[in-house]
Chain A
Amino acid sequence: MTATAEEAGTTGPHGRLAACVAVGSRLLRTTAFRLALLYLALFVLSVGVILLVVYRTTAGFLEQEIGETIALEVAGLQDHYRGYGLTGLVEVVRGRSAVAGNNSIYLLTTPQGVILAGNLSGWPSAVPSASGWTHFKVADYGGTTERPSTAQAVTFTLPGQFRLLVGRDMSEIDQLRDRMVHSLGWILGVTAMLGLGGGLLLSRGAMRRIEAINRTTRQIMAGDLSDRVPRFGGGDEIDRLAGNLNAMLDRLERLMTGMRQVTDSVAHDLRTPLSRLRSRIELALIHETEDPEVYRGVLQDTIAEADRLLATFTALLSIAEAESGAKRQDFEPVDLTEVVQLAADLYEPVAEERGQTLAMEIRKGATVRGNGQLLAQAVSNLLDNAIKYTPEGGRIDLVLDGAGPGQAARVTVADSGPGIPAEARDKVLQRFVRLDTARASPGNGLGLSLVDAVATLHGARLELSDNEPGLKVALVFAAEAAGG
C-alpha cells in the first residue's frame, strides 16, 4: 500500500516538482547557462553602477540649482532689508508670497513668533541640518501642488531677532526624482532581460560550436576517422581548438593508414617467405632419407630464411619506432660529420671490393639535433643502396654540406646505377615497394622507407632526383634542426 501511494506520488505535484528541479539542475550544469548567468550578473552590475551615477549627478544637480537660487534670493532680501528696513522687507515678502503658482516659500516672524509676512502657517518644527538647510513638510501655502509636499529652506535671524525663512517647494523635484527612479528601474529591468537573453544567445552560439566538436568526436569514436570538426573562421579560441583537433585527427589518420599499410604489407610480404620456409621443412620430412647432410642443409637454409625474416621484422619495427615520433624527446646534438664519416669508413671497402669509386666530400662540424643511431642507419642504408645498384666500376658520391640557406646540413648520396623514374619516386618510399630493376638485388624493400621515416622524425626532407645517370638522394636538415 505504502509503495503504491509513493509511486502515485511521483506522478503527483511532488513528482512534477522533482522533474522541474531535475531539469533546472541540468540547465544549471550546462556551461551555456552558467556563462549566461555570469555574463548577466556582470552586465546588471555595470549598468546599475552607471544608472546610480546618472541618478546621483542629476538629482544632485537639481538640488544644487535650488540651493543657489535660494542663496541669491536670501542675498537680495538682505539687501532690501538693509535698504528699506523691516517694513520694506515685509512688503517684498508679502508681494512675493502672493504670486500664485510660485514654488517659493517665505516666512518672516517677530522674535516672539508672530507672523509678519509669508505663505506658511507657522514656523516649521524641523531642526536645521549641519549645512543650514531645513527639510520639512508643508501643507498650506499658495504653492502649485495641492497635496502636502516637502520643502527645503534656509532660515536665518535678521538684526533685531526677526526671523526669516526662504525655501522652495521640493514636490516637483521629488516627483521628478520618483519618475527617474521609476524609469531607471525599468531600464535596469530591461537591461537585465536583454543581458540574460544576450548572454544565453552568445554562450549558446559558442556552445553550439563546442557541441559540434563533441558530435565530431562521437562520430570518430564510432569509427569514422575521416570526419572533421567544422570551422567557422575568425581564428578565435574555439576555432583554434577546432583547427588543432583537425590537425591531430589528420596525424592520427596518417598513422592509422600507415599502420594499415604495414599490416597489409606484413600479410603479403612476410607470408611468402614463411610459406616458403614451411614447405621446405615439410618437403624434407616427406622425402625420407638416411643422409644427415640433407637435413643439415635444410636446417641451414631454414635458419638463413628465418634470419631474413627477423631482419625484415627489425626493419619494420625501426620504421614504426621512427614514425611514432616518440624518440623526439630524447633528441640530442649529433655530430653529423662523424655519423657520415663512420658510415663511409664502413662501406668504403665494400665499394672498393666491387670496383666502385666512393668519392667523399665531408664538411666538418655539421651538427643536428636527433637520434645518432637512426641517423647512422639512414646514412648507411643510403650507402648500402648506392653500392647495391651501382654497376661494377661505377662511381658513388657521398657529400655532406654544412649549414646553408634554409638548411642546417645536407647529406647527398649519388650513384650511377639505373636510377628511379620520376613517377616512381614517391612509391619507392613505401614499405616493401621494390622496382623491377631492383628485383635482382637482395633486399626487403624497407631501406628507403626507413630513411624516409628517419628524415620525417628529424624534420628533414628526403629529396630524390636524377643523377643522369643514376639516383641522387639528399637528406636535407632544416635550419631549425641544428643542434647547439
Chain B
Amino acid sequence: MLDMKILVIEDDQQAASYLAKGLKEAGNVVDVANDGKEGLYLAGAEHYDVMVVDRMLPGRDGLSLVQVLRAAGNDTPVLFLSALGSVDDRVKGLKAGGDDYLTKPFAFSELLARIEVLVRRRGAAQPQTRLAVADLELDLLSRSVKRAGRTIELLPREFALLEYMMRNAGSVVTRTMMLENVWDYHFDPQTNVIDVHIARLRQKIDKDFPTPLIHTVRGAGYSLRASE
C-alpha cells in the first residue's frame, strides 16, 4: 500500500477509530474528524491524498461538506461511506462531488482497494489510447489486445474487463468494483459471476505464457501486475 495521508470524517467514534486503525496498519497517516465542522476545517488546513467521508454527519451533512470543498476548489478525492445503499443515494453522492461510494457495512479490503484506486487514478497521466503492462498491450482505438506480440481475441465484455484491470494495474480491484465499473451493476448478483469471467480471461491472457499477469488477492479480489 502507498503511504497516504487520509482524512476520515465519521461521527461514530467506534467506526472512526476502527477505520483509523485499519488504515494506519495499512501504512497510512490518518486524521480523524468527528463532525462536519471539524472535517471542513481540517480539509482546508491540511493537504490530504484522499478523504473518507460519512454521508450523514451531525452539524454538517457529508454531501454539503463535499459540495463546499469542491466549490472552494479542493479536488482531493472523496470516498463516501453510507448506510444508505440505494442507487439514488449513490448518484446523489457522486453528484455532490464524491469520487466513489461505499455502502456500510463493507469489507475493509474493499475500502482499501477503492482508496488506492482513487489515489492512483488521480496521479494517472492524460487520457491514453494504449495501455501496457509487461508484455501485454491493449489498444483502445483499434480495440485489439496483444501479448508478446501475439494478437489475442477477446469478446467485448472481456475487453472491457481487461481494460478496467489494466487501467488500475498494480492495484487490487474487488469483484464489486468490477461489477460497478464494467457492468454498471450496483447490486450483488448472488452467484460469484466475476470469478468465472476472470477464469475465462486468464485462459486467454495467461494460459499460454510463462508468467501470469492476473493475480488473485485472497479475501479481496484480483490484481493485474507484471510480477509477484
Q: How far does the alpha carbon of A318 sit from the alpha carbon of B86 in the complex, in Å?
A: 8
What 0/1 readout, one digit per residue, does chain A (291-326) give for beta carbons within 8 Å of chain B?
A: 000000000000000000011001001100100000
Cβ contact within 8 Å between B183 and A347: no
**Separation in Å of the A390 CB from the closest CB of chain B?**
13
**Separation in Å of the B197 CB from the closest CB of chain A?**
6
Within 8 Å of chain A (Cβ to Cβ): is B196? yes
Q: Is the interface of A mostly helix, strand, loop or mixed?
A: helix
Cβ contact within 8 Å between B105 and A349: no
Q: Is the interface of B mostly helix, strand, loop or mixed?
A: loop
Cβ contact within 8 Å between B193 and A347: yes
Out of A371, A384, A443, which one reaches B189, CB within 8 Å? Answer: A384
- In the assembled complex, 18 residue pairs joining A and B whose CB atoms fall closer than 8 Å, in A order, are A314-B187, A317-B85, A321-B86, A342-B184, A345-B183, A346-B157, A346-B185, A347-B191, A347-B193, A349-B193, A349-B196, A350-B196, A371-B87, A381-B190, A384-B190, A388-B191, A442-B190, A443-B190
Q: Name the residue on B nearest A388 (C-beta).
A: B191
Cβ contact within 8 Å between B183 and A346: yes
Within 8 Å of chain A (Cβ to Cβ): is B121? no
Cβ contact within 8 Å between A349 and B188: no
Cβ contact within 8 Å between B197 and A349: yes
Out of B184, B188, B191, B199, which one reaches A387, CB within 8 Å? Answer: B191
Interface residues of B in 179-228 (CB under 8 A from A): 183-191, 193, 196-197, 199-200
Please indicate the chain A residues that have their CB under 8 angstroms from the CB of B200 in the complex.
349
Cβ contact within 8 Å between A330 and B193: no
Cβ contact within 8 Å between A384 and B191: yes
Q: How far does the alpha carbon of A345 sit from the alpha carbon of B183 in the complex, in Å?
A: 9
Q: How far does the alpha carbon of A317 sit from the alpha carbon of B88 in the complex, in Å?
A: 14
Q: Which of B87, B186, B200 gathers most chain A CB within 10 Å? A: B87
Q: How far does the alpha carbon of A373 sit from the alpha carbon of B87 in the complex, in Å?
A: 8
Cβ contact within 8 Å between B186 and A380: no
Please count the residue pairs between chain A and chain B whose beta carbons lie under 8 angstroms apart in the complex. 58
Which residue numbers of A lie inside 8 Å of B, CB to CB? Answer: 310-311, 314, 317-318, 321, 327, 330, 342, 345-347, 349-350, 353, 371, 373, 376-377, 380-381, 384, 387-388, 442-443, 447
Which residue numbers of B lie inside 8 Å of A, CB to CB? Answer: 85-88, 105, 155-157, 183-191, 193, 196-197, 199-200
Cβ contact within 8 Å between A345 and B157: yes
Please indicate the chain A residues that have their CB under 8 angstroms from the CB of B155 in the complex.
345
Cβ contact within 8 Å between B188 and A346: no
Q: How far does the alpha carbon of A452 sit from the alpha carbon of B184 in the complex, in Å?
A: 22
Q: Name the residue on B nearest A380 (C-beta).
A: B189
Cβ contact within 8 Å between A311 and B188: yes
Out of A321, A353, A371, A447, which one reaches B196, CB within 8 Å? Answer: A353
Beyond A318-B187, A388-B191, 18 extra complex contacts between A and B, CB < 8 Å: A311-B188, A314-B187, A321-B86, A330-B88, A342-B184, A345-B183, A347-B193, A349-B197, A349-B200, A350-B196, A371-B87, A373-B185, A377-B187, A377-B189, A380-B185, A381-B189, A384-B189, A442-B190
Please indicate the chain B residues that have their CB under 8 angstroms from the CB of A346 in the complex.
157, 183, 185, 189, 193, 197
